[in-house]
């Protein structure tokens, strides 16, 4: 499927789509290393959307879903959207979700295939649990933080790539993420990732545009970092404990967001899709929430999400 149909697919929604639904789609526009399956719930029927002509025939869209298969990493990502305004009861939620989950499951060549429902609305977890053949696991709850306005960005420019600055006896330099940084990034991270994923972000033609690390110039070691994940969320924001309270994470996030802002200005197709970064912050992680607030991010009310593994 050509990804040019993605903006038309997103326009089927009866209300603005959340960034966690748009993000993965925006990240694959024009990509040739993915397989994409798009589904729309047209009243009570699930329709596969493979072209703008398919989208034009739809009349009453009450839900959307998609499956992205990244062939390079052999990974699967699936996301769902159900409008709050039209689904008035738990039965409505369950019926719509059951149809969409069935369509998603049909993309796999297996009985009771396994899927990770990522950034899945917490309000839909009971329905998904009742529908699934088996729930393998349910992770922690995260708040979705949206950047309400770019006006929330710092007024001073971020450090450019290659720019060095001194702080006491130490000199730091802004740089891109390298595949060889994987072990160091994993050591600093507070969430578990494998080296292959870090290497993927560092070498991918899209995601590598935005990842920024702060290095200690004397050694070249990464001491702070920020990346854009595969769903266009900010993450891997961490700092070497030796260099805390130097504002290094702030500098890494600022540089990443500045790179995103420049990219969106130069890519009308992504801007039309209303692609924008977001941050999923674990409930109770006050320090991260406070830091993101400095860039204009705020938690979206009643929009908590979870990651859960299910056999459909």
**Rounded to an integer, what distance in angstroms lies between the CA atom of residue 274 and that of residue 280?**
18
CB 232 within 8 A of CB 24: yes
Instruction: Tell me the per-residue pLDDT of 201-226, one tens digit each, with 9 for 90 and over.
Output: 999 989 999 999 999 999 999 999 99
**Rounded to an integer, what distance in angstroms lies between the CA atom of residue 87 and that of residue 5?**
26
**Rounded to an integer, what distance in angstroms lies between the CA atom of residue 165 and that of residue 168?**
10
Chain region(s) in the chain for CATH 3.40.630.30 = 150-295
pLDDT in the model for residue 232? 93
pLDDT in the model for residue 27? 85
pLDDT in the model for residue 271? 80
Burial class (CB in 10 A: 0-12, 13-18, 19+), 236: buried
Full-prediction pTM beyond 0.85? yes
pLDDT in the model for residue 1? 59
**Rounded to an integer, what distance in angstroms lies between the CA atom of residue 61 and that of residue 42?**
4
The DSSP result for 210-274, as a single string, is T-EEEEETTT--EEEEEEE-TTSBEEEEEE-GGGTTSSHHHHHHHHHHHHHHHHHHH-HHHHHTT
**Rounded to an integer, what distance in angstroms lies between the CA atom of residue 112 and that of residue 109?**
9
CATH 2.40.128 fits 3-144+302-311, yes or no: no
Which residues are CB-neighbours of 47 under 8 A, at least 6 positions away? 39, 40, 41, 54, 57, 58
Burial 184-201 (b: 16+ CB within 10 A, else e): bbbebeeeebeeebbbbb
3-class SS letters over 118-152:
EEEEHHHHHHHHHHCCEEEEEEEEEEEEEECCHHH
Which parts of the chain register pLDDT below 70?
1-2, 85-91, 150-152
**CATH: 3.40.718.10, 3.40.630.30, 3.30.70.330, 1.10.357.10. Which one for 150-295?**
3.40.630.30
54: how many CB neighbours lie within 10 A of its CB? 16
pLDDT in the model for residue 87? 47
Instruction: Tell me the per-residue pLDDT of 38-89, one tens digit each, with 9 for 90 and over.
Output: 999 998 899 999 999 999 999 889 999 999 998 888 889 999 999 876 445 6
* DSSP assignment letter at 48: E
């Amino acid at each position: 499927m050509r990804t040019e149909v993605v903006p038309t697919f997103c326009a089927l929604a009866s209300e603005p789509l959340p960034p966690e639904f748009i993000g993965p789609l925006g990240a694959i526009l024009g990509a040739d290393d993915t397989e994409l399956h798009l589904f729309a719930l047209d009243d009570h029927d699930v329709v596969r959307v493979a072209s703008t002509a398919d989208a034009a025939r739809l009349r009453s869209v009450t839900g959307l879903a998609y499956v992205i298969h990244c062939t390079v990493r052999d990974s699967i990502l699936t996301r769902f959207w159900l409008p709050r305004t039209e689904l008035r009861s738990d039965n409505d939620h369950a019926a719509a979700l059951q149809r969409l989950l069935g369509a998603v499951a049909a993309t796999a060549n297996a009985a009771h295939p396994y899927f990770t429902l990522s950034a899945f609305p917490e309000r839909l977890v009971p329905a998904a649990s009742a529908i699934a053949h088996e729930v393998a696991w349910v992770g922690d709850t995260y708040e979705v933080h949206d950047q309400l306005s770019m006006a929330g960005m710092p007024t001073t420019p971020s450090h450019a790539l290659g720019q060095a600055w001194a702080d006491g006896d130490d000199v730091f330099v802004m740089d891109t993420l390298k595949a060889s940084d994987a072990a160091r990034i994993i050591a600093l991270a507070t969430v578990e990732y494998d080296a292959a994923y870090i290497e993927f972000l560092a070498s991918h033609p899209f995601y590598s545009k935005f990842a920024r690390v702060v290095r200690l110039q004397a050694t070249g070691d990464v001491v702070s970092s920020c990346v854009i994940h595969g769903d266009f969320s900010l993450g891997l924001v961490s700092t070497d404990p030796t260099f805390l309270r130097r504002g290094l994470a702030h500098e890494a996030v600022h540089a990443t967001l500045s790179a995103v802002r420049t990219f969106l200005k130069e890519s009308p197709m992504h801007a039309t899709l209303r692609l924008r970064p977001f941050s999923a912050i674990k409930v109770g992680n006050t320090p991260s929430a406070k830091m993101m607030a400095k860039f204009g991010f705020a938690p979206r009310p009643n929009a908590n999400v979870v990651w859960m593994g299910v056999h459909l």
